Amino acid sequence: MQNLLNCKLKENVTLKNRFVLAPMTTYSGNPDLTLSDEEERYYNARGKEFGMVITAATAVSQHAQAFTNQISARSDFYLSSLKRLSDTIKSGGAKAILQLHHGGRMNALGLYENQDIVSASSIKAERVSAVTPRALETLEVYDTIEDFRQAMIRAIKSGFDGIELHGANTYLIQQFFSPHSNRRTDEFGGSLEKRLTFPMMLVDMALKTREEFAGKDFIIGYRLSPEELEEPGITLEDTTRLIEELSRRKIDYIHLSLSSYKQSSLRNKEDKTPIINILKKHNINNIPLIGVGGIETKDEALEVLSLGFDMVAIGKAALSATMVVTNILNDKPIKKVIDEDSCLPTNMKKRITEWAYLKDKGYTVK
């Protein structure tokens, strides 16, 4: 059990355990996109269990909003909402991390009047009901970086322990990194080197903003998806470069978005090597790594660490059980019934009833 407890993330920052609440969309903010009472209850329960809680994707601007009732950090109006969120997470002893997000071309339609869906280039996503986005002008890209900066300053003012840049799951930061969605000819696109420009400018901005507005203990993380299935799409070779650049900047953690912590390449089905085995070799400064995907037992959590991850993120299992970390640490079966005691917001609970893979994994919703 000792290996799963008292994780020293950085100098002067120790987590009570190595478990991280994975960021999961709640669809449950108030109509004005502030934190709802139901969301507050959801995060409060999980702050008591996890060493670190990463919030749902939080929009950095109006253009950034991707979901109905997505919480926002787009203006100072949201400072009191953000403070409620950080306070409720930290009240249980967890570190509170605000995930900063821009949906780009993946934004749902009809979220606000005269909606403007933007991306790195005017290339439609390969999904049902996708729309062709408007390519951001060069100056608008710099404006977007400023949106992230202002949202980070609000996170600092609101008492968060850190932020995570959401560079995964096909959203805007990933769209700039991807050769599928980024066909630009300015400084933000073209070669792999230029496709790295926007993500690395965001990281550099975050490091500078921490220096100006927060203490050195403020946590900066980055979430990424290692591959894309689209052609052209992000390859593991591309991601090794991304890992190297993130590691050189000495951020505080890198969070891999995976369906399984043992996941192998999606693009090369013949290669059964776990992705972590490939990517950790390029983590030149040994930045702490977060693994996620299908972890339900103590043995699995320990295997995550043995593979080279430093922290264990829990998603599905944290939907049903508010005591999920306690059960795993004590080698007890986790609860797989999602009910009133699970403290899920109503809209979130309605959404997950549509997730067929939950039933396949043995979860039921009451």
For the stretch 290-324, pLDDT in tens is 999 999 999 999 999 999 999 999 999 999 989 99
Nearest-angstrom CA–CA distance, 289 and 283: 9
Nearest-angstrom CA–CA distance, 158 and 108: 28
- Tell me what the mean pLDDT of segment 129-149 comes to: 97
Predicted local confidence at residue 129, as pLDDT: 87
Which residues have CB under 8 Å from 59's CB, separation 6+? Answer: 33, 65, 66, 70, 71, 72, 73, 74, 101, 102, 103
For the stretch 72-82, pLDDT in tens is 999 999 999 99
Domain edges within the chain: 2-337
Predicted local confidence at residue 137, as pLDDT: 98
Q: What are phi and psi of 292, to 5 degrees?
A: -150, 160
- Tell me what the mean pLDDT of segment 120-142 comes to: 96
pLDDT greater than 80 at residue 1: no
For the stretch 186-234, pLDDT in tens is 999 989 999 999 999 999 999 999 999 999 999 999 999 999 999 999 9
- Tell me what the mean pLDDT of segment 103-109 comes to: 98
For the stretch 27-65, pLDDT in tens is 999 999 999 999 999 999 999 999 999 999 999 999 999
Predicted local confidence at residue 23, as pLDDT: 98
How many Cα atoms within 13 Å fall on the side-chain side of residue 89?
Answer: 28
Percent of the chain with pLDDT over 90: 95
Active-site position among 78, 171, 253, 363: 171
Nearest-angstrom CA–CA distance, 56 and 347: 14
Q: Tell me if 22 sits within 8 A of 54, measured CB to CB.
A: yes
- Tell me what the mean pLDDT of segment 148-159 comes to: 99
Predicted local confidence at residue 278, as pLDDT: 97
Q: Tell me if 219 sits within 8 A of 163, measured CB to CB.
A: yes
Predicted local confidence at residue 2, as pLDDT: 58
Q: Tell me if 304 sits within 8 A of 275, measured CB to CB.
A: no
Q: How many CB atoms sit inside 10 A of residue 233's CB?
A: 16
Give the DSSP letter of residue 284.
T
Answer whether CATH 3.20.20.70 is correct for domain 2-337.
yes
Q: Tell me if 21 sits within 8 A of 308, measured CB to CB.
A: no
Nearest-angstrom CA–CA distance, 176 and 194: 9
Q: Pairing between strand 289-292 and 253-256?
A: parallel
Q: Tell me if 190 sits within 8 A of 196, measured CB to CB.
A: no
Q: How many CB atoms sit inside 10 A of residue 159's CB?
A: 15
pLDDT greater than 90 at residue 355: no
Q: Tell me if 293 sits within 8 A of 258, measured CB to CB.
A: yes
Q: Against a cut of 0.75, is the pTM above it?
A: yes
From the number of C-beta atoms within 10 Å of its C-beta (0-12, 13-18, 19+), residue 139 rates as exposed
Question: What is the pLDDT confidence band of residue 183, given thresholds at 50, 70 and 90?
Answer: very high
Single out the residue of 169, 213, 212, 171 nearest to residue 60, CA to CA.
171
Is-catalytic flag, 112?
no
Nearest-angstrom CA–CA distance, 49 and 68: 28
Single out the residue of 150, 176, 169 nearest to residue 59, CA to CA.
150
Q: Tell me if 151 sits within 8 A of 101, measured CB to CB.
A: no
Percent of the chain with pLDDT over 70: 99
Predicted local confidence at residue 354, as pLDDT: 86
> Is the Cα dihedral 298, 301, 303, 306 positive or negative?
negative
